[in-house]
Amino acid sequence: MAVYTKIKKKDISFINTKFNIEKIISFHGIKKGIENTNYLLKSKNKKLILTIFEKRVSNKEIPFFMKLMEALNNSGINCPKPLKNKNGNYLIKLKGKIACIVSFVEGNDKIKLNSKNCFDIGKIIARMHNITKNIGLSRKNSMGIKNLNTLLKSIKFKSKKFYNLEKFLTINLKDLRKNWPKKLPNGIIHGDLFIDNIFFSKNKLSGIIDFYFAANDYFIYEIAICINALCFDVKKIKIYN
């Protein structure tokens, strides 16, 4: 469930006064995702996405995501493009939180990928990495190697059956930190290319969404995420038994 902040018709009316868009005639929450609140907005001729940023995303970092998506979109990457409001800003305040409206990306996520799908994902990743070399944006990776120890300690392994999993992760993180490379090709990565953030239409890659983990890091980190998230065909993997 990813609809943490509830909105009403009066909130939609407020949005209509802030943006030069067709009148929104319907809206509903999008349950997929875990970080932010998202709504699908519909006018007579268009679909848009309203994102309300929840606790994980720092307000001061949100402009980075807006500028990144606009730059990628303007360079031919089919991803959400943030809309500017009547004051020329990407962001508004809604229900006491920062919010934005972005364009709608057609297509759906695909549960099972074939080799051609993975090849196409690799191509669009390469294009994104090349584009971001020259756009002059920067953000530290909140999921980078320096933050993983804090993240591991924040996990509550409630059941005893997860003891071996906790031990496994602790040992592997120690090994990672010891052997983490010092210098590799780097730049802005998407950082969250899991299957639900990659859209296909008629078995062709149609777009990439959800850039709110994007940050500067090694490009190979992006590839590693994709291999772990997309390139396996095993239903269940148990590493704690």
Residue ending a domain, choose from 58, 73, 104: 104
In a domain, 235, yes or no: no
Residue 36's domain spans which residues? Answer: 9-104
Q: Looking at the 3D structure of the chain, how many domains does it have?
A: 2
In a domain, 238, yes or no: no
In this structure, the answer to whether residues 126 and 215 fall within a common structural domain is yes
* 69-116 confidence digits (pLDDT tens): 999 999 999 999 999 999 999 999 999 999 999 999 999 999 889 999
Looking at the DSSP bridge assignments, the partners of residue 98 are 93
CATH number at residue 44: 3.30.200.20
Residue 6 confidence (pLDDT) above 70: yes
In a domain, 2, yes or no: no
Q: How sure is the predictor about 240, in pLDDT bands with cuts at 50, 70 and 90?
A: very low
In this structure, the answer to whether residues 121 and 225 fall within a common structural domain is yes
Distance in angstroms (rounded) separating the CA atoms of residues 63 and 57? 11
Distance in angstroms (rounded) separating the CA atoms of residues 49 and 104? 6
In this structure, the answer to whether residues 27 and 51 fall within a common structural domain is yes
In a domain, 115, yes or no: yes
Kindly report the pTM of this predicted structure: 0.89
Predicted pLDDT of residue 234:
55
In this structure, the answer to whether residues 88 and 116 fall within a common structural domain is no
Identify which has the larger pLDDT, 173 or 133: 173
- Give the chain's mean pLDDT: 91
